[in-house]
Amino acid sequence: MMKKFTHLIFTLATWIAFAGTAFGQSNSTSYQTLEVNGIEIFYREAGPKDAPTLLLLHGYPTSSYMYRDLISELADEFHLIAPDYPAFGRSEQPSPEVFDYTFDNLASLMEEFVELKGLTSYGLYIMDYGAPIGFRLATKHPERIESLIIQNGNAYLEGLEDFWNPIRGYWEDGETNAGALAAFTGLEGTRWQYIDGVQDSTLITPDTWEMDLRHLTRPGNTEIQLALFYDYQNNLKLYPEWQAYLREYQPRTLIIWGENDYIFPASGALAYRQDLKEVEIHLYDTGHFALETHAEEMAGEIRSFYYKTNYLSDRLGRK
């Protein structure tokens, strides 16, 4: 009897997988590159293209690799696209003489990427560096943004606490703290970002920081990262503009945040309440890269968030 039941379950699972593929609903992730303004941009893409689209913008020092588990969790009902910025992940690393590494330029390149991919409306998932890049996209094209999902990504001074003091010194004097910040791009600094604030560090695969070191150790990459550290001060000048966008457009917003993050503490998450009349906030007992320990729970909140607003059910023809 048990063998027959097991066979039935296996047959049903096989049929569902076949049916999904047959009707163009494959959940497999594809790994592609797209030339954007002469730069080869690597990206991951999964899920049915007629499903709600999520553009996943990664943080520092990682890449689209940080979204691998989330993509697997959501690809049955979402269309997910996760690019690597220039000099990150598997994207090309143009020389600073060719490409000026500023957040303005990264955002412009991502805007062109979005247009080449034909995305006219999408949900925007922003994390760390993805926040200043994503908010530039949102304020320039608010009509394209269907929702915001914010994970440890700042838009308020309240979220910039003790971690930022050495970086503020670097902003004031390009030589001050440059050595310490350069060391931050090495093994220990990269590993620390993954395990700090995590209750059980054995749950974090070393593949994460080793994958990051693949691009961080490319010749010339340290100088590029220092340039972005220095340019980060220009993001703060845009906070009032981003906050005005939130107040005016009131985008449907879900915040899923590692509350033990020393880089972007929970005060940065709670600050969004200043401008958003309705915002859903979930804090998790983990660190900066919350997806490494809570991908399943966070994916569940995203799915629930889309259903509660009737958006996902409408797209799927459900009531």
Cα–Cα distance between 38 and 88 in angstroms, integer? 16
Q: Which of 58, 79, 288, 294 is catalytic?
A: 288
Place of tokens 């893409």: 45
DSSP state string for 73-121:
HHTTT-EEEEEPPTTSTTS----TTTS---HHHHHHHHHHHHHHTT-SS
Torsion angle, CA of 133/293/262/267, rounded to 10 degrees? 70
Q: Taking each helix axis from N to C terminus, what angle separates 103-116 and 130-140, rounded to the nearest 10 degrees?
A: 60
Cα–Cα distance between 23 and 43 in angstroms, integer? 24
Stretch (H or E) spanning 34: strand 30-36
Active site residue 288: yes
Cα–Cα distance between 149 and 253 in angstroms, integer? 6
- Number of residues that make up the chain: 319
Q: What is the CA radius of gyration of the chain?
A: 20
Active centre residues (catalytic): 288
